[in-house]
Structure 1
Amino acid sequence: MTRHPVRPSSARRFLTGFLTGLALVLVGSACVSTNTYPIDFFSEMHYQKSFRDQEPPRLDVPAGVVPISGGEPYYTMEEARNLRNPLANDPQAVALGKQLYELNCVTCHGQQGNGKGPVAVYWNIVQGAVPPTNLKDPRVVARTDGELYWILTHGYSSPEHQVKYPHDLTNMPAYGKLLTPEERWALVSYMRELQKQQ
Structure 2
Amino acid sequence: MLHEADLIEYGIGSTGLTTVEHVVPQSEDAGQSNTYANCLYACRWCNRSRSKLPLHDGSGNVLLNPTTSAWADHFEVRDDKLSPKTGSGKYTEVAYSINDPFKVQRRAARRKLIERCRTLVLEAPAEIERLSRVVGHLAASDALDEAEVVRSLARRLNEQVALARQALERYQGVPVDADKACRCRLEPTMPPQVAEQLIALC
User: Taking structure 2 as the reference length, what is the TM-score of the superposition?
Assistant: 0.26
Higher Rg of the two aligned structures: 1
User: Taking structure 1 as the reference length, what is the TM-score of the superposition?
Assistant: 0.27
Highest relative contact order (Cα 8 Å, sep 6+), 1 or 2? 1
